[in-house]
């Protein structure tokens, strides 16, 4: 199991731009991959967690002919790990 947590405080005047996350990757009986994020508007913090479980129920050995399927799973995880969230400068505040 691998678990990561990252918190990023956005600078004043910036906001998330179309914050979308990759879908969870179910690994059937072998494990799971989940990426979660939430934005605290009061503290202006983006909180992300990533959890990878592999080898559930002792499943860590696979026949050689299953290599293409196992590689595809790790390619999907790698692609999800490279997902980018962007920020943009928000509209200037209107003063009265």
pLDDT, residue 95, reads 60
The whole-angstrom distance between residue 94's C-alpha and the CA centroid of its chain comes to: 35
Are 33 and 24 in contact, with CB atoms under 8 Å apart? yes
34 band by pLDDT with thresholds 50, 70 and 90 = very high
**Stated pTM of the model:** 0.75
Tell me which of 5 and 89 has the higher pLDDT.
5
Q: Which helix (H) or strand (E) holds 96?
A: none
**pLDDT digits over 39-75, tens only?**
888 888 999 999 999 887 777 888 999 899 889 999 9
Query: What end-to-end distance do the CA atoms of the chain give, in Å?
Result: 53
């Amino acid at each position: 199991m691998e678990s990561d947590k990252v918190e990023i405080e956005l600078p004043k005047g910036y906001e998330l731009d179309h914050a979308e996350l990759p879908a969870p990757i179910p690994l059937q009986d072998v494990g799971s991959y989940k990426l979660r994020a939430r934005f605290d508007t009061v503290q202006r913090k983006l909180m992300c967690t990533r959890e990878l479980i592999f080898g559930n129920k002792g499943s860590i050995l696979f026949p050689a002919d299953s290599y293409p399927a196992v590689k595809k799973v790790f390619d999907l995880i790698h692609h999800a790990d490279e997902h980018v969230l962007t920020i943009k400068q928000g509209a200037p505040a209107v003063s009265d």
